[in-house]
Structure 1
Amino acid sequence: MVELQERNVDLVVLDQGIDTSAAVGRMFFQILGTIAEFEHALMSERTLDGLEAARARGRTGGQKPKLGPRQVKLARQTYDEKDEDGKHRYIVGCNGGHRRPVVSTEGQGGRHQLGKRTRQ
């Protein structure tokens, strides 16, 4: 606002009745700015309070893990399995929608979800 005043620029909002060329218009504009700043500060405080309360209840932020500990262990075992050439026998990925590890067998053209055959 100060920069605009230095350049002799006034703000006139026709549908709001704000005219910064008059003292009342400048006051009204500053009050609106103060209210907006106050509202932002309240929102920030409430967010921090909510996060603190969630932490006190044992909640943490972020996305839940896609796989459980048992599924991670099984996926690692499957990935570590090698064929007679020393190559990995399976390719292990995770389908986020199903939250199950997807194991592809190279050369067999199929996909498995923890041992269950699925259509491709």
Structure 2
Amino acid sequence: MALIGYVRVSTRDQNPDAQTDMLSAAGCEELFVDHASGKLAKRPALTEALRYLRNGDTLVVTKLDRLGRSVKNLKEISDGLQNRGIGLKALSQGIDTTTPGGRLFFHMLAAIAEFEHDLIVERTQDGLAAARARGRKGGRRPKMTDNRIKQARAMYDAGDHTVQEVADTFGVSRATIYRHLERTETKGNPEY
């Protein structure tokens, strides 16, 4: 029954000492340190820590946000640990899933966070629907307007410019120029 610590700092510039000191003071025998954003799927030290843990051990973090990328990800990690007989402690939040009260508190926090996420999604969808009802379309405005497409076609047809030069002129990729050149060809050619 060992306490195993996991530390994550978002960038190489950040110093993990505060977290490592806190975990060492809590009695962690082994520490695994990642220098990676929490949003990244690949966190080698976390993978190594999860492999290292055995039945009866406890994974210790300073705060839950150091462990998971999202509520869903945290829940997956917690459930995986619980299925293997491994506890989870978050020191700053006082969460300890090795106790019934700690498990209840963790699941309540996860449920509240998931509920908050669902509300945000619902409000976003309502806002988008209201904007559509007013005739607004979402997304980025196209860089190639009808006038710019005509200019690009004229530059290309003149034969003085390469597709790359045309693309550079309008600040778009070659693929965008090719796509619009193809469209203007198909519009003007009844065989298509």
With the shorter chain as reference, the TM-score category is 0.5 to 0.7
Relative to structure 2, which stretch is displaced further, 33-42 or 15-24?
15-24
SS at match of 1:15: coil
Q: Distance in 1 between matches of 2:123 and 2:152?
A: 41
Alignment of 1:74 with 2:155, yes or no, is: no
Partners of 2:84 and 2:149 lie apart in 1 by 64
Q: Shift in Å at residue 35 of structure 1?
A: 0.7
CA distance in 2, matches of 1:66, 1:3: 47
- Identify the match of residue 28 of structure 1 among 99, 105, 113: 105
1:38 to 86, 91, 115: 115
RMSD over aligned CA atoms reads: 2.3
Matched, 1:59 2:136: yes
Q: Number of matched residues?
A: 91
What secondary structure does 1:11 align onto? strand
Report which structure shows greater RCO (CA 8 Å, sep ≥6): 2
More helix by share: 2
The residue aligned with 1:15 is 92
The one of 163, 171, 188 equivalent to 1:96 is: 171
Which has the higher Rg, Structure 1 or Structure 2? 1
| CA separation of 1:9 and 1:67: change in aligned 2, threshold 3 A | closer
AA at the equivalent of 1:41: D
Query: Equivalent residue for 2:47?
Result: none
Shift of 1:34: 0.2
In structure 2, C-alpha distance between the alignment counterparts of 1:65 and 1:42, rounded to whole Å: 31
Unaligned runs of 5+ in 1: 82-87, 98-120
TM-score (norm 1): 0.61
TM-score by length of 2: 0.41
Q: Distance in 1 between matches of 2:153 and 2:103?
A: 66
Change (3 A) 1:21 1:68: closer
Q: Sequence identity of aligned pairs in percent?
A: 51
